Amino acid sequence: MLKKGKIHFFTGKGGVGKSHLSMNFATELASAGHNTLWLEFNQNPSEHKALGPVSFQPKKISENLSVASWNGEDCLQEFVKYSVKLRLIYETFYRSKAINALIKAAPALREIAFLGYLTSHLRDVKPALDYDQIVVDAPSTGHFLSCLRVPLALLDVSDFGPMGFHCRGILKVLRDPTLTTIYNIFLAEPLVVSEYEFLKNELHKSGFESKPWFNKALSPKLLEDLNGLSAAEFETHLKAIENLQTLAQQQNQVLKGIKDKDLILTSDTSIEALKIEFKEIVKSLN
Amino acid sequence: MKSTQKETKVEFFLGSGGVGKSTISALSAVDLAIKGQQVLIATFDPSLRLKDLLVKDKGYLDPTLKQNLHVHILDPKAVFEELLSQVDPAVATSVKKNKLFANLIERIQGVQEFSSLYFLNTKLKSQKYDLIIIDTPPLQNSLDFFSSPEKLQDLFESTIVKLFIGDFNKNWLEKLFRKTRDIAFSTLKKLTGLEFFEQLISLMKALETLQPIILDTLKESQKILDSKNTKYKFITSYELERLDQALLQIEQMKLKNIDISTLIVNKFESYEIQDIESSVAISNKKGLTTLKEHLEYLKKSHLDKFNKIQSIKENKKINTVLIPNFLAQISTESDLIQQSKVLYA
């Protein structure tokens, strides 16, 4: 059974299909009955075609699915608004030029506000989100790593007081596999695979575990069909088929190198096929 | 008398992460270095393999490359340490001791972008190179590369020191300002804790001393960005979504007077439609339905993408370079040279 409030991060090298996969994943969670929030962090919200305008406040797009686009400043504002009970003080805070300059410049404040708000419901800290499942279209490898390392770095700066309290709480949630899953997505391309390995190892060094997700794979059924072509047909030298053969070999090689057992695999053909795959994935989580 | 100093050209490679920006800018650098130009390439965080290939302790095996290709991996922290060496040593020491600086300097918005501009400024002054290539940091939208230094500039122009430690007792307006600031600061102190707050304020005060150097660099950079010797190349992968994004970003940049001279489409698949159709026919005959569907999907998406590129070419009047999907990887220096030849053949 999926824990209530669980967070699912989608990350990997740029171009592996994070947005596409996370959106499909969230949609499938929602249709399986979970009240789901899909959110993107620090992305350019204007570039959504299908969703229309998406902003900080979640927008309901179907019965169980809401979407939002967050940045650190918004999360910080939400936290300050909640923590500072007096409206006048809150307004004074945000009217201060010095504070605005500081928030813009301060390293780590925005990241910690984001991670803080995202995990608040799992730490009994308010303001808290109220969703069964949260799916995060996260930044790619390098940015994701440095974002996750912010609470670690801040603990080094300030072990005591509120900052220390929040950082320890956030790390506890992010390191608990029943509360957080990090999907590390890769493709059958050498550069992408080495970045996958890099991210996996770096996350592990910082105390976070990730799950491998192989995207744009040739499906088992397609591989079977490719094998069904006889040697005679190979000699026709059709480029489309030859390319698929090469891809199949490459995929084979990559899969041999990936030692993780619970590998998730999605292909990149029709939307219908993808839906079936996601149904299976979500079922396996339950 | 003929000057030995060179007129240095500059090329910026723009594009989102994962499209092969580092690899292609490296291949461009190799190509021109082999052809005899003095080329310097500055890149952020390339993949480990590329880094191994480009950064050689003992230089390259190929003598021309050894002589002509210069690689620099950009590191914002190193850039800021260099800046600090130009100010009061006492300030520099206090910044270096600051834990936020040590751990998180890269998280200040605009710092990466600023670092590449600072590097470019310094190297242009040396007049040693025919060409400097800047592989820009990966950003969601390439336009952000040009607005990030602006953000940094805003920050330093709001004269932080005055905001933080100024003495505001002169008139009622300043007294009010001070009061606002004090309330805001005590709120922040309560929310983050004293330790963090103090580190943050001391970092800000120290960075303030860098203001003149930072503003100077940004002013000089603007001249370079506007110069006729500077070219912008945009890299995208051969995917419909990415091509749409590229189109949008090229338009946005044009509004800011940044003209993309070349659109480079990486991982281009050059299918003949006839070839795909014959493949469909074979799989159909054999009753291999999944394969048939896959090939039909391939055909449709290929046509969509190809038409998109054609329309960019015609409507935007941009030079377009299509780079085939090599499928092979670059793992040795000779691969690097070989692929650079393929790229600009």
Q: What is the reported pTM? A: 0.88
Distance (Å, whole) CA A285 – CA B5 = 65
Contacts A89 to B, Cβ<8 Å = 183, 187
Identity of the residue in A84, A104, A222 whose CB atom sits nearest the CB atom of B151? A104
* A-chain residue closest to B161, CA distance: A98
> Cα distance from A2 to chain B (closest Cα, Å)?
32
Give the count of alpha carbons within 13 A of A216, CB side only: 17
Residue from B105, B107, B176, B198 whose CB has the most chain A CBs within 10 Å, to mutate: B107
pLDDT (tens digit per residue) in A60-98: 999 999 999 998 999 999 999 999 988 889 988 888 777
Task: Specify the residue for token string 């996969």.
Answer: A21
Write the CA distances from B201 to A22, B17, B197, integer angstroms: 39, 34, 6
Whether residue A236 and residue B282 make contact (CB cut-off 8 A), yes or no, is yes
Cβ atoms of A53 and A41 within 8 Å: the answer is no
Q: Please report, to the nearest 10 degrees, the dihedral formed by the alpha carbons of residues A95, A100, A102, A107 taken in order.
A: 140
pLDDT (tens digit per residue) in A231-252: 666 666 788 888 888 889 989 9
Cβ atoms of B260 and B232 within 8 Å: the answer is yes
Its sign, for the CA torsion A80, A85, A89, A90, is positive
Task: Specify the DSSP element, H or E, that contains B14.
Answer: strand B9-14
**Cβ-count burial B148-171 (b if 16+ within 10 Å, e if not):** bbebbbebbeeebeebbebebeee
Q: Please measure the distance between the N-terminal and C-terminal CA atoms of chain B and give it in whole angstroms.
A: 37
Decide if B106 touches A, using CB distance below 8 A: yes
Task: Specify the DSSP element, H or E, that contains B318.
Answer: none
Identity of the residue in B155, B187, B293 whose CB atom sits nearest the CB atom of A93? B187
Quote the radius of gyration of chain A (alpha carbons, Å).
21
Q: Are strands A65-70 and A211-217 parallel, antiparallel or unpaired?
A: unpaired
Whether residue B160 and residue A107 make contact (CB cut-off 8 A), yes or no, is no
- Identify whether A177 is preceded by a cis peptide bond (ω within 30 of 0): no
Burial class (CB in 10 A: 0-12, 13-18, 19+), B10: buried
* B-chain residue closest to A108, CA distance: B107
Q: How many CB atoms lie within 10 A of CB A126?
A: 10
| Low-confidence residues of chain A: pLDDT under 50 | none
Its sign, for the CA torsion B151, B153, B157, B160, is positive
Q: Which of residues 12-41 of B touch A (CB under 8 A)?
A: 16-19, 23
Give the pLDDT confidence score for residue B1 in this predicted structure: 41
pLDDT string in tens for chain B (345-residue length): 444 567 899 999 998 877 888 888 999 999 999 999 999 999 877 766 777 778 877 788 899 999 999 999 988 889 989 999 988 898 888 888 888 888 888 777 778 888 899 999 999 998 899 999 999 887 767 777 887 667 676 666 655 555 555 555 566 767 777 788 788 889 999 999 998 988 888 888 777 788 888 888 888 988 999 999 999 999 998 888 888 888 888 888 888 888 999 999 998 888 888 999 999 998 898 889 989 999 998 899 899 999 999 888 887 788 888 888 764 567 788 888 888 887 776
Distance (Å, whole) CA B273 – CA A240 = 9
Contacts 24+ apart (CB under 8 A), A243-247: A243/B269, A243/B327, A244/A218, A244/B291, A244/B294, A246/B327, A247/A188, A247/A218
* A-chain residue closest to B18, CA distance: A14
In angstroms, how far apart are the furthest CA atoms of chain B?
91
Give the pLDDT confidence score for residue B7 in this predicted structure: 86
Q: Are strands A65-70 and A59-62 parallel, antiparallel or unpaired?
A: antiparallel
Contacts B196 to A, Cβ<8 Å = 154, 157-158, 161, 163
Give the pLDDT confidence score for residue B165 in this predicted structure: 54
Contacts B22 to A, Cβ<8 Å = none
Identity of the residue in A95, A101, A222 whose CB atom sits nearest the CB atom of B290? A222
Q: How many CB atoms lie within 10 A of CB B6?
A: 14
- The alpha helices in chain A, defined as continuous H runs, are 18-31, 72-83, 87-95, 97-105, 109-123, 141-157, 161-174, 190-205, 220-227, 231-234, 239-257, 271-285
Task: Specify the residue for token string 């002169």.
Answer: B170
Tell me B107's DSSP state: G
Cβ atoms of B155 and A104 within 8 Å: the answer is yes
Task: Specify the DSSP element, H or E, that contains B335.
Answer: helix B333-343
* B-chain residue closest to A140, CA distance: B17
Whether residue B196 and residue A92 make contact (CB cut-off 8 A), yes or no, is no
Cβ atoms of B96 and B81 within 8 Å: the answer is yes
